[in-house]
Amino acid sequence: MLFPEEEYMERLGRLRALMVERDVDLVIADEAEMMHYFTGFAISENLYRAVVIPKQGAPTMIVRLLDEQPFLKAAWFDNRRTFDDLEDPVTVIAEIIKAGGGRRVGLDMNSYCMPAKRFGHLTDLLPAVTFIDFSNAFRPMRLIKSVREVNVMRKAAGVADEAMRRAISATTPGSSSRTAAAVASASFIELGADFGRTGPITVGHGWNFLHGKLSDNPLEPGTVLHLELVPKVNGYCARLMRPAVMGTPSAELRDAATTLIEIQDRQIAAMVPGAVARDVDAILRQGVLNAGLREDYVNNTGYTLGYYFEQAPRTSDFTRLFTTEAEWRLKAGMTFHMYTSAVAGIAFSETVLVTDDGPERLTKTERKLFQCGDAV
């Protein structure tokens, strides 16, 4: 079990307050991130699985029999209904809901685990049940991180920093982006990350290269290597981007990096409790445009960071985005991936925690344009 039981009881308390407010008897949580949040357990969806949470009493985990032992090892409770591979898990969940007397059931209507056909099957089995959309309730519950969650993210950030140092140092002449990825991946495993998936490591061209692919091609002099490292520790992710140029950087490249860092530093400094997200966004967005580092700025400048299930279809959490129209306010305990890029082929990012005393960078790598092979 990752956290003590009291952590999960606090989360359930907040959920149950919403259930009372919305007059809901039971809630189904089936996305891996939400299952993990309330139970401590997550598993891929080879077969459907979910947790049913009542207003009182222990939740019930509906879990494949093959996965029973991992559930018992990870979860804070042991109340479960297992099913074998010939049973229909949706029918099992319907039975649990009927037994619990649920007439109004909360469900994330935007869940990647509840496609239309499955929802139709569930409603056919439960004609007397009214389903209440909880999609606007689940994800916001995870925005404010507990001290325990932040401590896990600190570990992930430490992995990112050290792996970045090693990867940049290893990119000597003749090496490729794959060289850097191999070093970063091995470092993840050695340093305690959940697995070796590094994140995008590619060559920087223009501003929208961030999700490029690995290459075996040697890095030519003047080429910018883009490294985004996304280690997870117990599912909690830190993210860090740095550019490294092969050989001596041009004056134009150095100047672009210096300006981009200065603008993002001002943005991060503005991430205080009560700040309006669009105002924080404007510092970077307008600053980059005014400096001529990009001709337009059509992407967000930051997004929610926290727990990500390793096999979920969403690789980023856009519960909160920094955009021109973002009216929400920052609160202490929120964590974000703040990132930016310029047409010169460079990008920088940080994992940032909002505290009562202002922003804290959990990632500590020096903010500069590196040279490949640097002893960072």
Question: Residue 167 sits in a domain of what CATH number?
Answer: 3.90.230.10
Do 37 and 113 belong to one domain?
yes
Tell me 235's DSSP state.
Answer: T
Q: Whose CA is closest to 310, among 232, 372, 250?
A: 232
Question: Is 230 inside any structural domain?
Answer: yes
Do 203 and 122 belong to one domain?
no
CB atoms within 10 A of CB 83: 20
Do 24 and 136 belong to one domain?
yes
Do 137 and 18 belong to one domain?
yes
* Residue 11 lies in domain: 5-142
Return the C-alpha torsion angle 225, 226, 231, 235, nearest 10: -150
Helices 277-290, 251-269: inter-axial angle, 10-degree rounding? 160
The CA angle 173-177-183, to the nearest 5 degrees, is: 90
The CA distance from 12 to 16, in Å, is: 6
Do 130 and 158 belong to one domain?
no
Question: Is 122 inside any structural domain?
Answer: yes
* Domain final position from 142, 169, 198: 142
Do 165 and 125 belong to one domain?
no
Question: Is 376 inside any structural domain?
Answer: no
Question: Is 103 inside any structural domain?
Answer: yes
Do 40 and 130 belong to one domain?
yes
* Domain final position from 79, 109, 142: 142
Q: What is the CATH number of the domain that holds 11?
A: 3.40.350.10
Helix, coil or strand: residue 252: helix
For 10-57, the DSSP string reads HHHHHHHHHHHHTT-SEEEE-SHHHHHHHHS-----SS--EEEEESSS
Contacting residues for 79 by C-beta, under 8 A, at least 6 apart = 58, 59, 60, 61
Domain count, the chain: 2
Do 185 and 327 belong to one domain?
yes
pLDDT of residue 376: 58
Q: What is the pLDDT along the chain (376 residues), one digit of tens a residue?
A: 899 999 999 999 999 999 999 999 999 999 999 999 999 999 999 899 999 999 999 999 999 999 999 999 999 999 999 999 999 999 999 999 999 888 999 999 999 999 999 999 999 999 999 999 999 999 999 999 999 999 999 999 999 999 999 999 999 999 999 999 999 999 999 999 999 999 999 997 766 777 888 888 899 999 999 999 999 999 999 999 999 999 999 999 999 999 999 999 999 999 999 999 999 999 999 999 999 999 999 999 999 999 999 888 888 999 999 999 999 999 999 999 999 999 999 999 999 999 999 999 999 999 999 999 986 5
Q: Whose CA is closest to 221, among 252, 246, 244?
A: 246
Question: Is 110 inside any structural domain?
Answer: yes
CB atoms within 10 A of CB 164: 26
Question: Is 347 inside any structural domain?
Answer: yes
